[in-house]
Amino acid sequence: MVDIDRRKKDWNWKQMLIHRQRCREYQHCYARVKCGKATPEMTARVKVLEEELDVLNLIMLRERASLDAERMQKAEEEAKAKKGWFFGWWSQPAAEDQFSAAIGKLRLKTPTLTFNLTRDRALSQ
């Protein structure tokens, strides 16, 4: 009797919605735990959700959460690297920026000729 109720319950729309909400919450909390930004409540919630969800979903959600955590860390590093447009005026450029600046100075010093002549203009002159 218990097994039959379980199978009926799995295909209930309300149960599916609750399952998806648990999955989203677990993925969000686990990504925060991976980044090291989790509160103690989040860590406790991860343990509770690990009891409620099955192994297949846990493995899949952990993979997604680890990718999300990597994305969040990269975004934070890029945000730290970019100081803003005003900061660049007085700061010392990095080695790559110095190289590209040197190439830019060489381009300014060498004369460049550009011809935008059409066939008719070339014949008339």
What is the chain's mean pLDDT, rounded? 77
Question: What is the pLDDT confidence band of residue 28, given thresholds at 50, 70 and 90?
Answer: very high
- Measured CA to CA, the distance from residue 125 to residue 120 in angstroms comes to 9
Question: What is the pLDDT confidence band of residue 115, given thresholds at 50, 70 and 90?
Answer: very low
DSSP 8-class letter at 36: T
Region of poorest pLDDT, from 7-11, 54-58, 64-68, 87-91: 87-91
pLDDT above 80 for 14: yes
Q: What is the DSSP string of 68-88?
A: HHHHHHHHHHHHHH---TTGG
pTM: 0.60
Q: Which residues contact 55 (CB under 8 A, 6 or more apart)?
A: none
Residue 22 · residue 53 · CB < 8 Å = yes
Identify the top-confidence range among 34-43, 47-56, 71-80, 93-102: 47-56
Residue 28 · residue 49 · CB < 8 Å = no
Calculate mean pLDDT across residues 66-95. 74
